[in-house]
Structure 1
Amino acid sequence: MVYQLTYRRPSHVPSSRESISGEEKQKSINDSINSGSSCMSCGIPDALSFDRIISGGVCPPCTVRDFMNYLKYIEHAAENLQFFLWFRDYSARWENLPESEKALAPEWTRAQAEAEAAGNVPSRPKRVDPQVAAVLKDTDFADGALRATVDRADPFNTPSKTPDEEKRDMMSEYGSSTDEKTFGSYNTHQSAAHKAFDDAGMKWKPFTAQPYREEIDRIISIYIAEGSPRELNLSARERTAVLHALQNTTHPTAFRSIVTTVEYSLRKQAHPNFIRWTICNGNRPRVVFARGLGVAGILGGFLADLLITLSHASRPWRVIPFLGWFIGIATLIAAWKGMCVVLHGLHHRHLRPWELFSEDPEDVLDEKLLSRESFTSQSTNSFEDEPWIPRYGKRNIIRKIFDRQIWVEEPALRQIQDTIFLQALLGAFVLSCIIVGIFCAVPRGNLY
């Protein structure tokens, strides 16, 4: 079974920061969800939609793990999917909290978010006792009186502490016998979150009864703070807005603005590119080799037809090179779309380089739940030091062309590949008929 013969695989979507508003991005996301999360006219069937992949409803090589590997090793943007999956998990855990805990972290409304984005967040005015101000007007004590009055009016206006002072306070609160290593990881994230708020010109609020505050500090230090290990590609305005929201609440709505940006990037850019890349069943050396075979078949058919035409042979003999034309053109069309017809005939694909050298390949290919700890790890997405890179680089070109193969399990992907293969056969048949017909129409040369 194949799709329509007019099917076209997804076009490559370049990575860019489009100057569209958050409302337009959200509307585009909602339209995508309401229309079944896919667009067959864009080359993505419903069975390979973004939501279906994220929910785990597909087979290799189109699973969430395959999507993550693609973003890490090919697009170098795995942090978007990592943050998106963490946020989905965080929102689900938030919904299961008791109402008494939810009440500690109020929802961050759209009005507050829009006011923050527009830079219209009001600050609390500092009021001074009018009698004190009148007596000390035009004196050297005016500024001191202002500070003293403000301090009396706000008993919580205490000087900010250094990370070391906060750490000592925490240690004393839990007792001197508490092992300092217990708080080492927490203080690392805490310091990074503190710096992120300082860079944004905000006051840090480290101690709070709001749920998941420690986890939010980790997320700030990993994804949001400048220079963080998995820093998201956010504008200065988006970063400031989300930090201000997280300064006040740990409610999932505090991430509304950046979640929209991340999800828009995944749905509209990363997902189509992933499907386009997954359709290719061979590695690059194999595809280049297939293109060479296609060109060789075309050249063989051309030389055979040319020699027969220049000879004393009759016209029916000129039909024989049709087979060379047909095989060459079909192979070239399929290879131009990243497919090897030999691998497709077996419904196989090459193992990816990072899959080849796994100690247990089945662990790599089987879909497993991605752990929550992997989303909040301080490790970067850099893979330059992974052992498979030098080992794959040492393989000669022949071994790469004939690398290990594995069965394509996802039916929808096989259906796409069947459609492309049929298109290549039909295109090759039509073009071969036209070319052979032209040679048959030319008078024979009688040169030998």
Structure 2
Amino acid sequence: MSSSALPLYRLDGTSTSTTFTLPTHPLRRRPPPSARIIHPNPSAPSRRLPLSFLASAQPIPPSLSLSHVLSDDLCAPLTLRDFFNFLAERERAPENLAFVLWYRAYERRFMALPAEERGRAEQLHPAEEWRKYAEERECERLERAVREQEDKEDEWENSDGPKPWECISLERMGAESPFADPLGVHRCSPSPSSTDEERTQSVDLTAQAAMDAETLAIAPWMVDEVGARDRARMAEISRQADEELQRTVSLLMRDNLPLRDEIVRAVQHFLTPASPYALSSSHIPALLLTLRRTTHPCAFLPLYNELLLTLTLDAHPRFVRSALANTRTPLRLAVYALAIGLYLLGGIALGLACVLTGVSRWWRIASIPLVWAGMAVSLALVSGVCPMVFGTRRRQLALWEAMDAEWEGEKPGLARSSCSRTLAGKNQKQRTARAHGIFQFVHNDWWAAHPAARRMQNGVLKGAGAWAALGAGVWGVGILLVPGRG
């Protein structure tokens, strides 16, 4: 059995591998060389961000992979704390990383238990448990349908026979006509035998269905009434979710399996809709069903693999791409205005002046370098890389780094990396003291001089220069072909 080499994921989400990476047997037929790996999420935003359109996609080196970030082996701005702060501040979605870190710690604690303790927790797969649950529900539904059919047959036998005319409803016949009630106002009228609660609910639905733009224009205060009804409905949904959570927790606490208390806390922290770290996945219902019978870490594997894949293909490339930005927004805007105003517009003005004054065509060539410089610097700044700062081997702190430098306490569950502890002296003081200011930079920084960062930033600059050369060439051809005055 042989296996292909692991692919390197580029910053735009593509892969460096050109063949399938699944294990292959020597006697089996290999796939054609032209076969390519299909990206699991072709519509991921990481494939559309503007760092790789300037040049060919730069692959993320293995030394900066997600495994190194999760192990906290790197220095700022690629530490685990920086990754968490980036997801919390920029992406507003740190729950995937929080769950991955919790699962790894929980798996270590579970495997550290004695063998007899681990043996009491069965290895159950959520998909299999959900299949059994669905089969049981289907059997119950069929049995209930059979019983209802038998009850109806008994009623028909004991009565004078079926009376089809009793099932005729004039309101239902009118509702089926497309011209009877075009606004649908009378389709939800309550029956005389309905209760007060059902009658109130149907009236609310009718009023909501009949409300249109003309009604709101005549009575704008009805918007507040609709908002109140929506808030009441959301409160009812939240109450039902809390009741379902309490029922799930009570079912989880029925046994004395190992680490059951921690499982309950994890359910309340990650699998509760009202929690700040609530996860969104289709594996959650099957996982909750499986956790009623076991506390083994394998029950979390489908959810863990899905979230880890999301971090690998989407969040981690975004994080590395944001870390490549060597300037912050204020300085970037200032340099961008300088590049547009002085170089690009200056070059265009010089070329037009040469045309209008009727001087020699050779003087027009002087505008081409200015146009190229303005376009190249502007395109590089769009990707967050400033050419002037790149030449000094310095950088400015990112937003999440500045916030992290001002923190006095430690975020629970995230320890400071070994590299950060090593640089906690002079360099860390400089990072903290230079967190603010448009012209304040970090000196002697690990990331600013990192070979991988320099290589990827250099690729951005080369791409910006190539596109700028194309634009300057078009400008040069056009300005040289324009006839001069006089």
TM bucket normalised to smaller: 0.5 to 0.7
Q: Quick one: distance in 2 between partners of 1:369 and 1:233?
A: 21
SS, match of residue 97 in structure 1: coil
| Residue from 53, 60, 75 that aligns with 2:91 | 75
Q: State the 1:11 CA deviation.
A: 6.5
SS, match of residue 292 in structure 2: helix
> What does residue 99 of structure 1 align with?
115
Q: How do 1:397-408 and structure 2 match up within 5 A?
A: 401-405=438-442, 407=445, 408=448
For the 8 Å contact 1:210–1:249, the answer to whether it is kept is yes
Q: Quick one: distance in 1 between partners of 2:67 and 2:457?
A: 22
Query: Structure 1's 240 and 346: CA in aligned 2 closer, same or farther, altered over 3 A?
Result: same
> What does residue 414 of structure 2 align with?
370
Q: State the 1:320 CA deviation.
A: 1.8
Query: Structure 1's 249 and 361: CA in aligned 2 closer, same or farther, altered over 3 A?
Result: closer
| Residue from 284, 304, 307 that aligns with 2:353 | 307
Query: Structure 1's 218 and 260: CA in aligned 2 closer, same or farther, altered over 3 A?
Result: same
1:151-198 CA-to-partner distances (Å, cap 9, x unmatched) read xxxxxxxxxxxxxxxxxxxxxxxxxxxxxxxxxxxxxxxxxx995544
| Residue from 386, 398, 405 that aligns with 1:340 | 386
SS, match of residue 257 in structure 2: coil
| Residue from 275, 294, 304 that aligns with 1:228 | 275
SS, match of residue 321 in structure 1: helix
Query: Structure 1's 414 and 66: CA in aligned 2 closer, same or farther, altered over 3 A?
Result: farther
> What does residue 68 of structure 2 align with?
52
Q: Quick one: distance in 2 between partners of 1:197 and 1:272?
A: 35
> What does residue 241 of structure 1 align with?
286
Query: Structure 1's 44 and 300: CA in aligned 2 closer, same or farther, altered over 3 A?
Result: same
| Residue from 10, 13, 23 that aligns with 2:12 | 10
For the 8 Å contact 2:13–2:313, the answer to whether it is kept is no
Q: State the 1:65 CA deviation.
A: 2.0
Q: State the 1:417 CA deviation.
A: 0.5
| Residue from 259, 262, 284 that aligns with 1:212 | 259
For the 8 Å contact 2:377–2:387, the answer to whether it is kept is yes
1:402 maps to a residue whose letter is F
Please report the RMSD computed on the Cα atoms of aligned residues, expressed in angstroms.
3.9
Q: Quick one: distance in 2 between partners of 1:405 and 1:257?
A: 42
Number of aligned pairs?
A: 319
For the 8 Å contact 1:331–1:424, the answer to whether it is kept is yes
Percent same amino acid at aligned positions?
A: 29
| Residue from 367, 370, 391 that aligns with 1:321 | 367
SS, match of residue 122 in structure 2: coil
Q: Quick one: distance in 1 between partners of 2:329 and 2:60?
A: 25
For the 8 Å contact 1:10–1:276, the answer to whether it is kept is no
1:93-139 CA-to-partner distances (Å, cap 9, x unmatched) read 32232211111111113663442674647999xxxxxxxxxxxxxxx
2:464 maps to a residue whose letter is A
Q: How do 1:31-180 and structure 2 match up within 5 A?
A: 43-47=58-62, 48-109=64-125, 112-115=128-131, 118=134, 120=136
Q: TM-score, normalised on structure 2?
A: 0.57
1:242-280 CA-to-partner distances (Å, cap 9, x unmatched) read 222111111001213322332232223222322332232
Gap runs ≥5 in structure 1: 1-6, 13-26, 30-39, 125-192, 373-394
Q: TM-score, normalised on structure 1?
A: 0.61
Q: Quick one: distance in 1 between partners of 2:324 and 2:472?
A: 26
Q: State the 1:319 CA deviation.
A: 1.8
> What does residue 465 of structure 2 align with?
425
> What does residue 353 of structure 1 align with?
399
Query: Structure 1's 417 and 80: CA in aligned 2 closer, same or farther, altered over 3 A?
Result: same
2:61 maps to a residue whose letter is D
Q: Quick one: distance in 2 between partners of 1:442 and 1:28?
A: 51
Gap runs ≥5 in structure 2: 1-8, 15-38, 42-54, 141-240, 417-434
Q: Quick one: distance in 2 between partners of 1:432 and 1:73?
A: 39
For the 8 Å contact 2:326–2:389, the answer to whether it is kept is yes
2:387 maps to a residue whose letter is V
Q: State the 1:332 CA deviation.
A: 1.2
1:78-105 CA-to-partner distances (Å, cap 9, x unmatched) read 1110110111122123223221111111
Q: Quick one: distance in 1 between partners of 2:86 and 2:415?
A: 18
For the 8 Å contact 1:61–1:409, the answer to whether it is kept is no
